[in-house]
Amino acid sequence: MAYSFPSDPWAAAYKVAINGNPKYATAGKDWTHGAVALLVKSDETIGIGADMAVLLDVHAGVCNAATYMTGEQAREKAPFVVEGPYDNWKKLIVENQDPIKALMQGKLKLTKGHLPTIIRYVESSKQLLASAQTVDTAFLR
């Protein structure tokens, strides 16, 4: 069954995918810096009327929760927020793009959080993305 991205069911499936990825468990084992929000910018053409996000409560290589919420809530709750337009997230997930390259190209932006900390956990970021690629995803376009 394909889960619509982004949505509550997709977030739930993503949590399972992260916890089923042994490479993430290893790469993220030292991550103790708090939740990370993956934020999709609003896009009226596909029915996303406001910024929406999946907030990942990740700690020590385990995803304790993946919660779908508004971008505003995510910006308040998460110490790290990565934002981008829908199509860029889709490309990242479908085409297995490197998240660091996407940041350098300006396709995604770290809008909140301590960059040196993120840089220390590059492999962890890659494995979070790799986990997303294993979720059976239906895109809105």
Partner 1 sequence: MGALNYAARIELSKGAEDNGLAGMVASLILQNLQDKPQKRVDFAKMRGRVAIVAEDARVAMTLEFQGNMLTVHDGIVGVPDVTVRAQSEDIIQMSLVELTPRLALPDFRGPALKEIMAKSRSGAIHVFGALTNFPLVFRLTRLLSVN
Q: Contact positions toward partner 1, by CB under 8 A?
A: 98, 100-110, 114-116, 119-120, 122
Q: Which positions ≥6 away from 52 have C-beta within 8 Å?
A: 6, 39, 40, 42, 68, 69, 70, 71
Instruction: Count helices and strands (H / E) in the chain.
Output: 7, 7
Q: In the bound complex, what is the minimum distance in angstroms from residue 101's beta carbon to partner 1? A: 5
Which CB sits closer to partner 1, 29 or 120? 120
CB of 82 to partner 1, least distance (A): 12
CB of 109 to partner 1, least distance (A): 7
Please identify, using beta-carbon distances, which residue of 64 and 105 lies nearer to partner 1. Answer: 105
Read off the tokens for 70. Answer: 């508004």
Contact between 57 and 94 under an 8 Å Cβ cutoff? The reply is no
Closer residue to partner 1, CB minimum distance, 51 or 98: 98
